[in-house]
Structure 1
């Protein structure tokens, strides 16, 4: 079987580095499994997943002009149904367990359900202005010091 992009081949791990693992493929060629292509989970150390002389099945991701072969184990692993992205959604993030509506506001400042939208908005704007004023006051006092006054 020839080594072409998209093919699944079997090889033997010949070396492990901090950035991935080298695999000897059929026809005497060598490819690299980058650390990001070793597993679906975060890989801090490749040694936790692979060791030298392991037989591995890999997918050929690319072959560049210089003959370097990029390989992946991760793309051959079965994806868990809850981890798959919905069709057409390229910016997929795993969903969190629903714990009800999230309220980022401190102390429930705006949660008065009887107040009208305009009242809530007005209170929010006032609060926001106060925070910005405090922030400016703190940052301006730190900027002062040298260079604010010039003597010729």
Structure 2
């Protein structure tokens, strides 16, 4: 059974899954979605998206630098490999990493959702049901508000 620590059926290749996200202001929602994705994979690769990707998508740089975000994710037991990327491309996922499943989650989980996995064939995407939320959107709003007040002063 997948996700129980075994590597699938004897003789069959391990099932490789991937979760992509910025992982800024790392929180319990991130941990939850990564653990749930790992339960459906023999091997979990996490694609940490670059600051440039975040600027294009959000119009703002992440608070935590890319290297630190990747190092945080790298230390989780449920994660087998971390790669820093500028975009999530299907040919790279399947060809280079051997990914069979790209996990999507709701925005409240802190990783890419189906709408953000533009260009990934629907057959590769597995949508995880909503999990634990986090207070990171509240934290981000408070930081933004504090930064805007200090720039006025």
Task: Tell me the TM-score normalised to structure 2 length.
Answer: 0.21
Q: Indicate the structure with greater strand content.
A: 1
Q: Indicate the structure with greater helix content.
A: 2
- The structure with the largest alpha-carbon Rg is 1
